[in-house]
């Protein structure tokens, strides 16, 4: 597995600790390196430092919500190239449209099947040309 | 006395007395008295019946009438003509009784002989009093009539007020209902988010356990599958809630209603066959297209058809009718003469009826069926949003929906849609997203 998927770092930003824990367990089992942040600010910082291949971003979070975090990721020279997948319990047309307008590559609605998320991570990483393809 | 000619009917059997009276009257200067003399009460009554008598002078000792009986009889036929009683007795008690029987005055013959003016004066007064009396009666009658008219007007005003009040109450109920819906919508979208997050985590847990337990197979793999299904079902319910709380923009296109009806029926054909339900469509093929969101209107028909199926566990018949109708009845909420009525009386609209021969809806729950979360189905089989969503879709189409039902006989759901709708809106039109 690790041969076809060279260590891809996934940054997950979610205020729900169990959601972070499960996503980490599942994605690590899929061969990813997973770093997590519990809020937007911490996420922005980790994105700069870790330079993940993809960011999984929750929408509804206290203080800085997912869309604001997304905006800042796109505004920052150091992070604007990182593909972002919104992962949220909210999935109204309005939410989804906002996600895409702000530059997200996918908007995944919770609850989701892990295999669907993995598939989208792969697409996002491949499209961005960073770390997806074997080096 | 304005009358210059007065016809006096004299009832007196004593010729001497009669003559005295006639003479007394003929002497009067300002007034011409025409005296018609009869000697029997019966003759007097005949004369009275012919009319044009201004006053009756009568004695009390008459061959066909004894004493005050004469007054009583004459009064009964006098029709308001004043009566003066002539008597040879100066008897106070008799005088009072005569007046009680309806006489205007009581004169003693001897007095008349002594003062002839007395008779003329008495006659004048009697006529004057009678005229005043008549005037009073007339005024009283007018007054009573005015009172009655006022009472009628009052009743009418009260009825109008009552109707206005009922109207206000209906409007208020509708507002309360709209507010309730909006509150439910807000609550639902808030709760939905809170529920979908943990559902997401559960599904992640299921995903995590899957490879290992599926490899083992057997009951543990099955249990995981049950968990996954439970998550999916919960998610579906929550999505239903969101569907209801989120106005979906309508995509209105001119669409024949038959297209929607046929598409909906096609989807339930198999179920109808299994449940032994006969499906009939009764709609003219040339019904004009109306502005519809085909997809959402299909949802309406399917909801209503499945509700009808549910009401016919032993089978039955479901009929969908479509007509273009001129709306005449104002009994239906939303059809009226006021500007905020959805339809005006006299307007032509498309009326669809979905009729079933099912168990019917009990009267006491009929007012609740459009309320969100109201359901008669056992827990787990429905969350009670079907009709609430249906109603909000119809409202989005500027239409109205109402239900008539008779327990044991069946239910008819009527949908009225405007024939031409320039007004396109999102569902419920509250503009929230």
Checking if the pLDDT of B66 tops 80, the result is: no
Q: Render pLDDT for B384-410 as a digit per residue (tens, 0 to 9).
A: 778 888 888 898 898 999 999 999 999
Query: Which residues in B193-300 belong to E strands, given as ranges?
Result: 253-255, 277-283, 290-292
Q: Residue A98 has what pLDDT?
A: 93
B330 pLDDT band (50/70/90 cuts)?
A: low
Closest CA to A25 of A37, A14, A36, A16: A36
- Secondary structure element (H or E) that encloses residue A88, with its range: strand A84-88
Checking if the pLDDT of B428 tops 70, the result is: no
Q: Which two tokens stand for residue B407?
A: 């327990």
The pLDDT of A99-103, averaged and rounded, is 94
Are A39 and A118 within 8 A, CB to CB? no
Instruction: Report yes or no: A22 at the B interface, CB cutoff 8 Å.
Output: yes
Query: Which residues in B203-301 belong to E strands, given as ranges?
Result: 253-255, 277-283, 290-292
Q: Render pLDDT for B308-321 as a digit per residue (tens, 0 to 9).
A: 999 999 999 999 99
Q: Which two tokens stand for residue B115?
A: 């003062």
The pLDDT of B217-238, averaged and rounded, is 88
Q: Which residue has the tokens 């729950």?
A: B365
Q: Residue B379 has what pLDDT?
A: 61
Tell me the shortest Cα–Cα distance from A42 to chain B, in angstroms: 21
- Rounded Cα distance between A30 and A19, Å, is 16
Q: Which of B113-117, B158-162, B199-203, B306-310 has the lowest mean pLDDT?
A: B113-117
B285 pLDDT band (50/70/90 cuts)?
A: confident
Report the length, in residues, of chain A. 135
Report the length, in residues, of chain B. 433
Residues of chain B with C-beta less than 8 angstroms from the C-beta of A18: 201
Residues of chain A with C-beta less than 8 angstroms from the C-beta of B201: 16, 18-19, 22, 111
- Residue A111 to residue B202, Cβ atoms within 8 A: yes
Closest CA to B67 of B106, B104, B33, B37: B106
Q: What secondary structure does DSSP assign to B320-387, as a single string?
A: EEEEEEE---S-STTEESSTTSSEETT-EEEEEEEEE-S----TTTGGGTTSTT---SPTTS--S-HH
Residues 6+ apart with CB under 8 A from B191: B238, B241
Q: Which residue has the higher pLDDT, B171 or A81?
A: A81
The pLDDT of B244-264, averaged and rounded, is 84
Residue of A92, A93, A110 lying closest to B200 (CB–CB): A110
Q: Residue B45 has what pLDDT?
A: 85
Residues of chain A with C-beta less than 8 angstroms from the C-beta of B208: 22, 25-26, 29, 114
Checking if the pLDDT of B421 tops 90, the result is: no
Q: What is the pTM of this model?
A: 0.52
Q: Render pLDDT for B117-159 as a digit per residue (tens, 0 to 9).
A: 788 888 888 888 888 888 888 999 999 999 999 999 999 999 8
Closest CA to B369 of B308, B295, B322, B423: B308
Mutate to test the interface with A, among B191, B192, B200, B237 (most CBs of A within 10 A): B200
The pLDDT of B94-111, averaged and rounded, is 80
Q: What are the C-alpha distances in Å from B217 to residues A132, B207, B210, B225?
A: 34, 15, 10, 11
Q: Which residue has the higher pLDDT, B431 or B320?
A: B320
- Rounded Cα distance between B71 and B174, Å, is 73
Q: What is the largest CA-CA distance in chain A?
A: 40
Are A8 and A132 within 8 A, CB to CB? yes
Which residues from B are below 8 Å from A when comparing CB atoms? Answer: 192-197, 199-205, 207-208, 231, 235, 242, 246, 433
- Rounded Cα distance between B246 and B188, Å, is 9
């Amino acid at each position: 597995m690790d041969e076809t998927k060279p260590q891809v770092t996934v940054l997950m930003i979610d205020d729900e600790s169990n959601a972070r824990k499960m996503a980490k367990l599942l994605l690590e089992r899929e061969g990813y390196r997973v770093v997590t942040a519990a809020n937007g600010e911490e996420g922005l910082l980790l994105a700069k430092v870790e330079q993940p291949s993809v960011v999984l971003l929750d929408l509804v979070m206290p203080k800085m919500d997912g869309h604001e975090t997304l905006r800042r990721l796109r505004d920052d020279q150091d992070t604007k190239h990182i593909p972002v997948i919104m992962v949220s319990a909210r999935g109204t047309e309005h939410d989804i449209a906002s996600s895409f307008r702000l530059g997200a590559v996918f908007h995944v609605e919770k609850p989701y099947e892990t295999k669907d998320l993995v598939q989208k991570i792969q697409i996002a990483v491949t499209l961005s040309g960073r770390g997806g393809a074997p080096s | 006395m304005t009358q210059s000619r007065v016809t006096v009917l004299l009832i007196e059997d004593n010729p001497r007395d009669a003559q005295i009276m006639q003479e007394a009257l003929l002497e009067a200067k300002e007034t011409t008295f025409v005296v018609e003399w009869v000697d029997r009460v019966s003759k007097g009554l005949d004369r009275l019946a012919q009319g044009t008598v201004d006053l009756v002078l009568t004695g009390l000792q008459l061959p066909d009438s004894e004493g005050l009986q004469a007054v009583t009889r004459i009064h009964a036929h006098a029709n308001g003509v004043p009566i003066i009683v002539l008597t040879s007795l100066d008897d106070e008690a008799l005088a009072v009784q005569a007046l009680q029987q309806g006489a205007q005055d009581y004169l003693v013959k001897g007095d008349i002989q002594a003062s002839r003016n007395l008779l003329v004066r008495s006659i004048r007064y009697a006529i004057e009093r009678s005229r005043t009396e008549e005037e009073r009666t007339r005024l009283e009658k007018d007054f009573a009539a005015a009172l009655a008219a006022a009472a009628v007007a009052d009743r009418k005003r009260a009825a109008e007020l009552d109707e206005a009040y009922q109207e206000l109450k209906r409007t208020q109920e509708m507002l309360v209902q709209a507010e309730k819906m909006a509150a439910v919508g807000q609550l639902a979208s808030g709760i939905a988010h809170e529920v979908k997050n943990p559902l997401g985590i559960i599904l992640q847990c299921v995903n995590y356990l899957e490879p290992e337990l599926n490899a083992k197979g057997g009951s543990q793999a099955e249990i995981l599958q049950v968990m996954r299904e439970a998550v999916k079902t919960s998610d579906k319910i929550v999505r239903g809630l969101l569907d209801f709380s989120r106005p979906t923009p309508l995509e209105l296109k001119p669409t024949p209603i038959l297209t929607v009806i046929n598409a909906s029926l096609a989807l339930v054909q198999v179920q109808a066959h299994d449940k032994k339900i006969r499906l009939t469509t009764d709609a003219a093929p040339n019904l004009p297209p109306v502005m519809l969101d085909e997809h959402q209107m299909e949802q309406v028909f399917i909801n209503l058809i499945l509700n009808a199926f549910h009401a016919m566990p032993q089978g039955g018949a479901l009929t969908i009718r479509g007509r273009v109708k001129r709306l005449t009845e104002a009994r239906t909420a939303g059809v009226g003469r006021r500007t905020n009525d959805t339809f005006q009386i006299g307007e032509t609209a498309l009326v669809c009826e979905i009729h079933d021969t099912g168990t019917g809806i009990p009267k006491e729950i009929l007012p609740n069926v459009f309320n969100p979360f109201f359901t008669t189905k056992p827990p787990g089989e429905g969350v009670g949003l079907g009709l609430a969503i249906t109603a909000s879709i119809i409202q989005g189409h500027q239409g109205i929906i109402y239900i008539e039902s008779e327990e044991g006989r069946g239910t008819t759901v009527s949908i009225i849609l405007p024939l031409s709708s320039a007004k396109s809106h999102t569902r419920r039109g509250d503009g929230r997203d």
